[in-house]
Amino acid sequence: MATTTATITLASSDITGDTLSLSTTATLTKADSNEGLDQTQGIGRKTTTSNSQYVLYNGGDYTDNKAHKVYLKNMSSSNMEYMTVHVNAEELGRLYGGDWLFIPYGAHDADNDIKITPSASTSMTLEYAIFHE
């Protein structure tokens, strides 16, 4: 059985009047199960020199009502370059240089594609992975 653990730590000494220190860990399991997620497309990178939107993950490729997880990271070091992330027509937000996200992904149907739109036509690289059932 595969075991994949996700951990996030948020820390700041000056964002509030007190020191902020949050940390949480989760073991990624299949829906309604204690079994670990056992499939992945692994870590990949896509570099583009176009600011045209492209489909990163096709929702029709993943079974609905499962515990899929998606990781994305804008590898740019510039905070002027961003990638807009959409699920279908819904904009989730922008990943600026160095930003990343880790989200649950309920594919449901082909309409729930994950789409990426780079902000510039300079060379931009996205690091990505999907962990799924």
Which amino acid type is present at position 11? A
Instruction: Kindly report the length of the chain.
Output: 133
CB 40 within 8 A of CB 128: no
Domain annotation for the chain: domains and CATH numbers: 37-132 (2.60.120.10)
Tell me the pLDDT of the chain averaged across its residues: 91
Tell me the per-residue pLDDT of 17-53, one tens digit each, with 9 for 90 and over.
889 999 999 999 999 899 998 888 889 999 999 999 9
Output the pLDDT for position 75.
Answer: 97
- Comparing CA positions, the residue from 116, 101, 110 lying closest to residue 58 is 110
The yes-or-no verdict on residue 1 having pLDDT over 70 is no
